[in-house]
Amino acid sequence: MKRILDAKGLSAAIDRMVDELAGVCPADLPWAVVGIRTRGVALAERVKAQLAAKTGRELPLGWLDITLYRDDLHEMEASPLVRQTKIDFDPTDMCIILVDDVLFTGRTIRAALGALGDYGRPKVVRLAVLVDRGHRELPIAADVVGCRIETRRDEVVEVSMSETDDGDEVVARPAGSGR
């Protein structure tokens, strides 16, 4: 296992993301932050709080469960775990800041865009990810990235956040070695 970011580094990466995010949405549109379950939600909560403080904007927060939008759903167990999606605002004609912890193949983001579309048609969607590890299978790129790392396809990048885990860090480990 190799540590990519410790708690201080993770915090600094989020700070950089927020600084960049303040300029990626058109000023004349309402903005909202939407996290992708699970750790994308914790990251979105932090981003939303810091971005609201920085810009003075009231930002709605939502989260998406993309399980039923996955293109590999047929390969999953018979009863996949579906968690709550919460979008209690109309994203139509808004700038949506879509937040996830790790960008890998792009398939999660494709699924999230499909799920988001069921709630309305945003004017603009901007993607913010904490870690971009490469190995894209779909033509998807983040607008804002906390850190870019080189990984092997057979590695797993894990983001731990105090809201869901024992602390804040990002690690890379061989697949199959467990969290």
Q: What is the CATH number of the domain that holds 151?
A: 3.40.50.2020
3-class SS shares of the chain: helix, strand, coil, % to 5: 25, 30, 45
Chain-centroid distance of CA 21 in Å reads 13
> What domain count does the chain have?
1
Has residue 48 been placed in a domain?
yes
The model's pLDDT over 84-96, given as tens digits with 9 standing for 90+, comes to: 899 999 999 999 9
The model's pLDDT over 6-29, given as tens digits with 9 standing for 90+, comes to: 999 999 999 999 999 999 999 999
Has residue 49 been placed in a domain?
yes
Chain-centroid distance of CA 139 in Å reads 17
Percent of the chain with pLDDT over 90: 86
The model's pLDDT over 40-78, given as tens digits with 9 standing for 90+, comes to: 999 999 999 999 999 999 999 999 999 888 776 656 566
pTM for this model (two decimals)? 0.93
Range of the domain at 118: 2-71+86-174
Has residue 77 been placed in a domain?
no
Has residue 76 been placed in a domain?
no
Q: Residue 75: is it exposed, middle or buried by C-beta count within 10 angstroms (0-12/13-18/19+)?
A: exposed
The model's pLDDT over 115-168, given as tens digits with 9 standing for 90+, comes to: 999 999 999 999 999 999 999 999 999 999 999 999 999 999 999 999 999 999
